Amino acid sequence: MERMSFTQEIEKRRTFGIISHPDAGKTTLTEKLLLFGGAIQEAGAVKNNKIKKTATSDFMEIERQRGISVATSVLAFYYKDKKINILDTPGHKDFAEDTFRTLTAVDSVIVVIDVAKGVEEQTEKLVEVCRMRHIPMIVFINKLDREGKDAFDLLDEVESKLKLTVTPLSFPIGMGHDFKGIYNIYERNINLFTAESKTKISEGQAFEDLHSKELETLIGESHATQLREELELVSGVYPPFDRDAYLEGELQPVFFGSALNNFGVRELLDCFIAIAPSPRPKSAEERLVRPEETDMTGFVFKIHANMDPKHRDRLAFLKIVSGTFKRNTPYLHIRHNKKLKFSSPNAFFGDKKQIVDTSSYPGDIVGLHDTGNFKIGDTLTEGELLHYKGIPSFSPEHFRYINNADPMKSKQLAKGIDQLMDEGVAQLFTLDLNGRKVIGTVGALQYEVIQYRLEHEYGAKCTYEPFPVHKACWVATEDEKSEEFLDFLRVKQKYMAKDKKGQTVFLADSHFSLEMARQKYPSVKLHFTSEYE
Ligand code: G4P
């Protein structure tokens, strides 16, 4: 009996992330989904936690808002008996690395695209990561109440720029000022857009027979003719929906709507809970772990530090992969080979976090209070030696030498750098030649964050010096003793470094030198991420 309910708990869960370019409507959509789940009462609750655009030049403000947003890192709610966990992915591009890591903890994603802007840069990058990992994706084209691109042109753009194979499961009728509503291909009904849909959840009208005259009455003659033609084109051009292909990451269903007007959102959510995967097996270095296994296992994908120096506690976010997580139970911290118990782990619900009183199941996220034990990627088990894979580092975009500005505080500086890197704020590279430390970040903003935090939390001072690097390349070779590899190491000595795990990295100073190295040393493989197949 108990076994039965455990597997039912797993089947109920849908853990996903919403990805988009800033301003496409991710926050608005998240909020509408929460409203459907009854997890929040009014619009605006999530929005207030968003990193505001105006704050981009003021990193303290961003950090403060990031602090507030701990609770919204995981938004959980029930909808039609499904437990939905939305993992927040920061939209700000300087925190892209955070987003990449969060994507290792989701079972599927929803991609939001602005109908007028089409596919934007940030979306391209994030979708590429999802595509490479075969994460099931649903596309939501937003802001249909505004003038935008033609639906077919957009679908083409999604296919070509994002390299996806799409199949529309809903289709817009008109757009902008002439927006009439949506035909739901998945449910075969029509939902008419009215000004009231902002406050009321509109129910679609069933519509089996597209050729009935009723269509004309509902949307007018020209729209009716156009819709029939367009739907014919849709079924002629796009493959039919196939759930297995979607789950394999080979086919992406597309929905149209307007998050702000709460239009098309119910259709998206209903289809999502029907087709999106429940927690899936995950590879550890040792073996594949299935969610139904009774022993608890999980991995840390995010660490959130408290900016207040008086409370230097951190919250480590653990994704449960298998078994049931219970408080006050000893779990093995694999990297430290140490048993840890948690007396007040946090569960997340709605836009709040609370102490776990019931059990948490695969797919759920628990927040563990941490005084410096955890590092991103750490695995917890009930005793089995397992190492979860798949939290890679990506080549940073910016690189600078970091120098100690207060010789009396070198210990504090080392400790501060160490802990900030464990949190994943930036990446540290140590040059082979002289042991100098180089900090690599995704955005220039992180340098200010690091400097400020080193000073305020660790009492250490640092300065930076430019270090021109084009890309960090993780180096792999089949034969470490080969002439070619040794020659590569010798010639590029100045540019060779170790990352925090001790992996060898080539810090290429230009695109040209990288290409030259690739040509000259074909047996040396240069990867832009720390984990490669
Ligand atoms: P993000 O999280 O992806 O960055 O986007 P967010 O939801 O904050 O939405 C960005 C802007 O787009 C917001 O306007 C939001 O109201 C608007 N928006 C979202 N969905 C729709 C939609 O379906 N139709 C229309 N017309 N607009 C939409 P803003 O003016 O930047 O913010 P606010 O002052 O309205 O909060």
Q: Of 91, 70, 76, 80, whose CA–CA distance to 27 is shortest?
A: 91
262 in a structural domain: yes
Number of domains in the chain: 3
209 in a structural domain: yes
* Residue ID of nearest Cα to ligand 1 atom 32: 23
Residues 292 and 258 in one domain: no
* Residue ID of nearest Cα to ligand 1 atom 15: 25
Q: Which of 226, 260, 275 is the last residue of a domain?
A: 275
Distance 28 CA to ligand 1 centre (A): 6
Which of 20, 21, 23, 33, when mutated, tests ligand 1's pocket best, judged by the most ligand atoms within 8 Å of its CB?
23
- For residue 260 and ligand 1, the question of a CB distance below 6 A is answered with yes
- For residue 228 and ligand 1, the question of a CB distance below 6 A is answered with no
Amino acid at 342: F
Tokens of 449: 């964050």
CA distance 84 to 114: 24
pLDDT at 398: 92
Residues 55 and 189 in one domain: yes
Residues 444 and 518 in one domain: yes
Residues 227 and 181 in one domain: yes
Residue 448: CATH number of its domain: 3.30.70.3280
pLDDT digits (tens, 9 = 90+) for 396-454: 889 999 999 998 999 999 999 998 888 888 999 999 999 999 999 987 888 988 998 89
Distance 83 CA to ligand 1 centre (A): 26
Report CA Rg, the chain: 25
- For residue 146 and ligand 1, the question of a CB distance below 6 A is answered with yes
Residues 366 and 483 in one domain: no
- For residue 24 and ligand 1, the question of a CB distance below 6 A is answered with yes
Residues 293 and 313 in one domain: yes
Nearest atom (ligand 1) to Cα of 24: 3
Which of 19, 28, 143, when mutated, tests ligand 1's pocket best, judged by the most ligand atoms within 8 Å of its CB?
28
Residues 457 and 371 in one domain: no
pLDDT at 53: 46
Q: Of 470, 406, 376, whose CA–CA distance to 105 is shortest?
A: 376
Residues 468 and 523 in one domain: yes
- For residue 258 and ligand 1, the question of a CB distance below 6 A is answered with yes
Distance 122 CA to ligand 1 centre (A): 17
- For residue 19 and ligand 1, the question of a CB distance below 6 A is answered with no
Tokens of 206: 């069933």
Residues of the chain short of pLDDT 70, as ranges, are 1-4, 39-72, 91-95, 195-206, 306-312, 349-358, 390, 532-533
Distance 144 CA to ligand 1 centre (A): 12
* Residue ID of nearest Cα to ligand 1 atom 30: 23
225 in a structural domain: yes
- For residue 26 and ligand 1, the question of a CB distance below 6 A is answered with yes
6 in a structural domain: no
Nearest atom (ligand 1) to Cα of 258: 23
CB 10 within 8 A of CB 3: no
pLDDT at 207: 73
CB 340 within 8 A of CB 365: no
| Alpha carbon separation from 85 to 37, 49, 90 (Å, rounded) | 11, 18, 16
- For residue 451 and ligand 1, the question of a CB distance below 6 A is answered with no
Distance 44 CA to ligand 1 centre (A): 11
pLDDT digits (tens, 9 = 90+) for 253-272: 999 999 998 888 989 999 99
* Residue ID of nearest Cα to ligand 1 atom 22: 143
**Surface-to-core class of residue 525, CB atoms within 10 Å of its CB (0-12 exposed, 13-18 middle, 19+ buried):** middle
Distance 66 CA to ligand 1 centre (A): 20
Distance 99 CA to ligand 1 centre (A): 20
Distance 522 CA to ligand 1 centre (A): 48
Residues 263 and 327 in one domain: no
Question: Which DSSP string corresponds to 382-436?
Answer: SS----B-----B--SEEEEEEES-GGGHHHHHHHHHHHHHHTSSEEEEETTT--
Phi, psi at residue 210, to the nearest 5°?
-65, -15
Distance 38 CA to ligand 1 centre (A): 21
Distance 273 CA to ligand 1 centre (A): 24
1 in a structural domain: no
Q: Of 292, 277, 278, 282, whose CA–CA distance to 4 is shortest?
A: 292
Mark 147-176 as b/e (b = at least 16 C-beta within 10 Å): ebbebeebbeebeeebebebbbbbbbbbbe
207 in a structural domain: yes
231 in a structural domain: yes
9 in a structural domain: no
- For residue 30 and ligand 1, the question of a CB distance below 6 A is answered with no
* Residue ID of nearest Cα to ligand 1 atom 31: 23
pLDDT at 52: 47
Q: How many of the other CB atoms lie within 10 Å of CB of 237?
A: 12
Residues 215 and 91 in one domain: yes
pLDDT at 107: 96
Range of the domain at 212: 14-275
Q: Which of 275, 298, 315 is the last residue of a domain?
A: 275
Residues 148 and 297 in one domain: no
Residues 305 and 443 in one domain: no
Distance 444 CA to ligand 1 centre (A): 26
Question: Residue 353: enclosing H or E segment and its boundaries?
Answer: strand 352-355
Q: Which of 255, 275, 295 is the last residue of a domain?
A: 275
Nearest atom (ligand 1) to Cα of 30: 7
Kindly report the average pLDDT of the chain as a whole number: 86
Residue 327: CATH number of its domain: 3.40.50.300
